[in-house]
Structure 1
Amino acid sequence: MADGKLRRMTFRKNARILPVLFAAPLLCAMAPGDMSVAAFLVRADALERLGPLALATPQGHQLKGEVIAAGKRYKARIDADRRAGRRTTSCPPESGTLTPDQWLSHLRSYPAAARNKISVYWAFDALMKKRYPCPA
């Protein structure tokens, strides 16, 4: 009887781990900045409960890394367009600040139905277009 109870407990424990194991290859294959807005917000909402300590967690570092990677990809693209003489999608200053509240507010402005289809990178690009439009 105890053996059957142990098997059920082990199965339940493994059943909770299986979705994580199946998702791991997908998450590892994604480039930084490719996380969907929906996934980012789910993780950010869970971390917000921790308050200022959230950034000290591994999950906080991962989310911060997503935003930094999106920013670096964006800057590389803008710089490449400028070097090639192409018109850029936005005209940001060389340096600037973006608070977590501004970023999360922008992400939450997307309709819930669209959040799965938009990556953090494209959301970053859209925010830069909105904040730093090029003069006509």
Structure 2
Amino acid sequence: MRAILAVMAGAALVLPASAQAMSVAEFLAKANALKAKGFLAMGSPDIKLLRTEVERASDAYRADLASAKAAGRAPHSCPPPKGKAKIGSNELIAEFQSIPAAQRGMSVKSAFYAMMKKRFPCKG
């Protein structure tokens, strides 16, 4: 099993970032599997995988906001400064679960952007 995980991890390093995009369906399946393990999930590499996926989406989102601002374009949404928008894992998962099953093939990044637009619309 460890050999398989090592090969998968090595493959992830050489694939382009777009090939690594996780769908909401995959994210939720991994999150539900971790939840089912209870306390034993703490040692699972999937925790880091899910956290990294959300961090990538968050970083891309912030970069897109900064580039829109620099270019003088209206931002996608208007969140508070980084670190102030406290969104816990349960809230994130609930938001992803609210996506209809037929649309869960979208990337975590796309779902994250939609969540931020919904939670932090620009006023005015």
Give TM-score scaled by structure 2 length. 0.80
Cα distance, 1:106 vs. partner? 0.6
Could you list the per-position Cα deviations for residues 22-74 of structure 1 after superposition, in whole angstroms to 9, with x for gaps in the alignment?
A: xx59x733527721000111111000123355354211100010001100000
Match of 2:50 among 63, 70, 79: 63
Query: What residue number does 2:73 align with?
Result: 86
Structure 1: unaligned runs, 5 residues or longer: 1-16
Kindly indicate whether residue 100 of structure 2 is the aligned counterpart of residue 111 of structure 1.
yes
Query: What residue number does 1:51 align with?
Result: 38
Aligned length: 113
User: Greater CA radius of gyration, 1 or 2?
Assistant: 1
Could you list the per-position Cα deviations for residues 83-114 of structure 1 after superposition, in whole angstroms to 9, with x for gaps in the alignment?
A: 11110110001122110111001100111111
Structure 2: unaligned runs, 5 residues or longer: none
* 8 Å contact kept, 1:55–1:61: no
Give TM-score scaled by structure 1 length. 0.74
What percentage of residue pairs aligned between the two structures are identical? 39
Query: What residue number does 1:99 align with?
Result: 88
Query: What residue number does 1:31 align with?
Result: 17
For 1:58 and 1:93, the matched residues in 2 are separated by 31
User: Per the alignment, do residues 78 and 56 of structure 1 end up closer, same or farther by CA in structure 2, a change over 3 Å counting?
Assistant: farther
For 1:75 and 1:105, the matched residues in 2 are separated by 22
